[in-house]
Structure 1
Amino acid sequence: MTELAQQEAAVIRGLVGQIRDMLTARADEAPTDELAELTGIRTGPTTPPRDRVLERLLPDFYRKDPETGESDEEEADAAGAMRSLHEPELIELKSGVAATVLETCPAEGGKVKLTAEQADSWLSALNDVRLALGTALDLDEETPEELPEDDLRQEHLNIYQWLTWVQDSMVEALWP
């Protein structure tokens, strides 16, 4: 159990809500498939998202080597087929953990008491937010812990670092 200030809860709810909205918009891009409607097997887009943040949250199932350009993909259409089959489930899982956070994070701040399953959802959702923020801010291993005062990313970097601390604190609390 922990207690969140109103501002902390607002930050978490706002960022998690933005991720959920992005995922929902991506799911709405899925093509209509009559066979999927008959079988219940959902399909999604065959192409990766154009948005860098969504691309980070919904990566390809096959990757190209950045240096050689070679792919572990055996067939040219395999990446699109894998995306089409698995992206809807990935979006559903990510949206589900976001919904859990939004349901259990008090809008006005206050005590947060989570079950183990809810805590796992929080960890996943916070990880998605951190991935999104890190991508949007172009963070990498060489980014300093503090940016120059005139760097517009500094405020968001502070939020990223705070979310890292929240996530780390949760992991330590859950560790037996």
Structure 2
Amino acid sequence: MKAKELQDLIDFIAKSGLNKVNIETEEFKINITRDASQKVSYVAAPAAHAPVAAPAAAAVSAPAAAPQAPSAPAAAAAPAAEGGNYQAIKAPMIGTFYRSASPESPAFVNVGDEVKKGQVICIIEAMKLFNEIEAEVSGKIVKVMVDNASPVEYDQALFMIDPS
């Protein structure tokens, strides 16, 4: 099944209001069950609208943006300047970032925590599937780059880690 066909199927099921769908062909079998008490909502990706607005905004506010431009790279270089060789742990997918398994649970990791390679550090929810994200390297968490329950883009930095 192609990605477009799968997306069309998901859209159809979401719009139909069905709580249970079973589809079986010679190639695959899909069973989808949805909790009727949950509300399904779709959030448009913020990046989808940014390219349209960015050129117009850049043309109008180019003089105002020029003084701010040097400070942005300086802010990005600040973690390295603080004496650390920090590495970013990045989002492997788009979705919603969660620091803990549930609102009542403590965060998987906090600033200052030592983590080991393969340790679960957060969850990214994508299409009602909760994906555990593991640390790619061992080290100490020095900064959390994303707020809890915020949307994240593919390859966006989630945590800064000091691997030393």
Tell me the TM-score normalised to structure 1 length. 0.21
- Structure having the higher helix fraction is 1
Structure with greater contact order relative to length (CA < 8 Å, sep ≥ 6): 1
- Structure having the higher strand fraction is 2
Tell me the TM-score normalised to structure 2 length. 0.22
